[in-house]
A and B are shown apart, each in its own frame.
Chain A
Amino acid sequence: MTGVNIGILAVQGDVAENLTATRMAMDELGVEGVVTEVKNPDQISDLDGLIIPGGESTVIGTLSLVNGSLKKIKEKIASGIPVLGTCAGMILLSKKAKDRVVGDMEQPLLDYLDIKIERNTFGRQKDSFEADVALEKIGVPKFRGVFIRAPSVIDAGKDVEILSKFNEKIVAVKQGNIIGTSFHPELTADLSIHKYFVNLVQKKN
């Protein structure tokens, strides 16, 4: 097979939106390859890049644990493939999560990003908002952030690069080839972040 093989973890959540955004980003960049929905460990083992979409992190985590996908993703991360996690995806990539109201969580996580997450950090759905944020470090000075019951990073280790903040809250991070965002780039027409990710996958490949 020629080109890159990017997978969207298709357990639960906004999988189709990420698939479309990634495909469009590849087309615009002229990057060859395929984007597919992946659900089981075999599909994941062939990937050059993985996106963990938005959804409910407890659901995606629990169900990926059931069929062994979670373990396989950990192996792939250790092997260095780029991963993008949006909202629930960032929660799954983290080492530790707590909920703003309920408190510390015992949910399955990938335990990679050296960050502590506060879930539902801005409040409930009525508090969900759109705002322009900046990710200067990856060359995206303005991006429409769609924050839906979004988490934030309340603690970041020394290897974690902070890409964006909303007031005092950290809303995008990068550690090695792993990127996490509180907001949903897949829900906007702006492909900048998906393009950045596709470039990362191609460079690594």
Chain B
Amino acid sequence: MIPLSGDFGNAKGIVREKLGSFETHRGTSTLKRGFAHMLKNGVVMDVTTVEQAQIAEDAGAVAVMVLDKLPSDVRKAGGVARTASIRVIEEIMDSVTIPVMAKCRIGHVYEAKVLGETDVDMIDESEVLTPADEFHHIWKWDFTTPFVNGARNLGEALRRIEEGAAMIRTKGEPGTGNVAEAVIHIKNVNTELRRIKSIYDAGDEQDLVSIARELKVSYSLVEETASLGRLPVVNFAAGGISTPADAAYLMTLGCDGVFVGSGIFKSEDAKERAQAVVLATTFWEDP
């Protein structure tokens, strides 16, 4: 079981308020990570319009990710890629019942604040857009809205979790239609997880401390991850997934679900393709 509590119990993103006769807490780790848990075994689809969002919902997508341009177009267009239009995000939120996510630039605290105020269900601090801060990511404990972050290896994943990410997507190359990079990175993460698990099982605390230093994260997070033998948050695969078989293959590697970007709405038969990817993700054990 993935633990639902995280550090920073007094994070700024936690809101305490009285609703009627009830004391409530919002923005806790349980609620943020718990939200990600509800997406498990699902497909999150990239969309740019209301029409695409509705096709995604009908096909069985577990959430949609709103972008200005699909990743493959971002890749072609060059220039600076930013958060999608707030008007389009709001229109989509009003037309589908599934969660709506949107991307902000890495380190761009204000784009994230605007998305938080827009009331998106999850913010993706994403490398698909042009980074706004080359050195720092957003300190996500300050937000009530949960975040998902990309990672290519265990160190990146744990650093993002330590910054407050409630979910990780192990990423390939967005907008390429080539799943190879995603596969490499997921296998990397799995190998590293197996390594620290075996060190944990052997009781070698000294080695875990040196791994924490090497990965530049706290010892407690390394110890927790090592004891679980998996990331302490939900982990999806992302980037370059374009066919149902790609999605099913990534599920067999132990991912909790998949993000599909350009693969669906760049194809001729978006509706059928969207449904097929969902079916492959759900019933991957039984092709």
Contact = CB atoms under 8 A, between A and B. Distances in A.
A127 B144 CA distance: 9
Interface in A160-203: 166-168, 184, 187-188
B37 A131 contact: no
A107 B268 CA distance: 26
Give chain B's interface secondary structure class: loop
A54 B31 contact: no
Contact of B278 (A59, A129, A146): A59
B19 A131 contact: yes
Nearest to A87: B38
B135 interface: no
B40 A125 contact: no
Contacts of A14: 34, 37-38, 40
A99 B97 contact: yes
B150 interface: no
Given A12-B41, A39-B283, A148-B35, A167 B97 contact: no
Q: Looking at chain B, what size class is its interface with the partner chain?
A: 35 or more
Interface residues of A, number: 48
A125 B62 contact: no
Interface stretch (A26-34, A44-52, A62-70, A73-81): A62-70
A63 B60 contact: yes
B133 to A, nearest CB: 24
B283 A128 contact: no
10 contacts: A16-B1, A16-B40, A55-B62, A59-B98, A124-B119, A129-B31, A130-B25, A130-B31, A132-B23, A187-B37
Given A66-B279, A146-B30, 10 more contacts: A15-B41, A17-B37, A56-B42, A99-B97, A123-B119, A125-B31, A127-B26, A129-B25, A132-B22, A166-B19
Interface of A: 10-17, 20, 39-40, 54-56, 58-59, 62-63, 66-67, 87-88, 99, 101-102, 105, 119-120, 123-133, 146, 148-149, 166-168, 184, 187-188
